[in-house]
């Protein structure tokens, strides 16, 4: 028998009870014994006892996982999230149908990202070269100070 959530109109308390789906008699509130109760909408769990249904669900999830791997490997699409109203299979079929276009677009985006990274490196390199002699001079001065400190301790 399933569990149902109810709310009492008289005292406002919320409670849970279980009864058959076919029972149509009003439910009493456990606090005030009132019959003015309303059934609330609540989440339910579905348990599949049919082994055929379980195996078909497993097959579907395995097929979707394989299709996701294929999209990642062939087209570089790491995450695929269907928009509202679409299923993963429709998205997969569209990508397969327009495969060349998707690949070209992904390659173009990859080239743009690589160009941005290269531009950052090119902008960073002169600054690093400018700082390198200064850093080297600072390190040599620090080493000289340490050597002089060692000599003063020995005397």
Residue 8 CB: number of other CB atoms within 10 A? 21
* CATH number for 31: 2.20.28
Residues 86 and 127 in one domain: no
Tokens of 125: 């390199």
Q: What is the pTM of this model?
A: 0.37
Residue scoring higher pLDDT (55 or 155):
55
Tens digit of each residue's pLDDT (9 = 90 or more) over 4-62: 888 998 888 888 888 887 887 788 898 898 888 888 876 666 666 777 777 888 888 89
Residues in the chain: 155
Tell me how many domains the chain contains. 3
Listed in sequence order, the residues at least 6 apart from 38 whose beta carbon sits closer than 8 Å to its beta carbon are 6, 7, 9
Question: Residue 44's pLDDT is what?
Answer: 66
Sheet containing strand 14-18, edge to edge, reads 14-18, 3-8, 37-39
Q: Same domain, yes or no, for 83 and 107?
A: no
Average pLDDT over residues 118-144: 82
In a domain, 44, yes or no: no
- The pLDDT, as a whole number, for residue 45 is 64
pLDDT for 8 equals 92
Q: Is the pLDDT of residue 153 over 80?
A: no
For 51-97, how does the pLDDT look when each residue is reduced to its tens digit (9 = 90+)?
777 788 888 889 888 988 888 888 777 777 888 788 888 888 888 88
User: Is residue 56 one of the residues assigned to a domain?
Assistant: yes
Confirm whether 46 is domain-assigned: no
Q: How confident is the model at residue 115 (pLDDT cuts 50, 70, 90)?
A: very high
In the block, tokens 């609330």 appear at 40
Check whether residue 103 and residue 155 sit in a common domain. Answer: yes
């Amino acid at each position: 028998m399933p569990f149902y959530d109810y709310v009492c109109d008289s005292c406002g308390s919320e409670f849970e009870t279980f009864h058959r789906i076919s029972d149509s008699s009003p439910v009493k509130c456990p606090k005030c014994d009132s019959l003015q109760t309303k059934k609330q909408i609540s989440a339910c769990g579905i348990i599949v006892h049919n082994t055929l249904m379980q195996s078909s669900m497993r097959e579907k999830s395995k097929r979707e996982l394989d299709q996701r791997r294929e999209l990642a490997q062939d087209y570089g699409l790491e995450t695929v999230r269907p928009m509202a109203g679409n299923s993963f299979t429709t998205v997969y079929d569209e990508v397969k149908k327009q495969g060349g276009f998707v690949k070209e677009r992904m390659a173009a985006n990859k080239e743009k990202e690589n160009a941005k990274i290269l531009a950052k490196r090119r902008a960073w390199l002169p600054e690093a070269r400018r700082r390198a002699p200064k850093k080297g001079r600072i390190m040599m001065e620090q080493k000289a100070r340490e050597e002089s400190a060692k000599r003063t301790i020995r005397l």
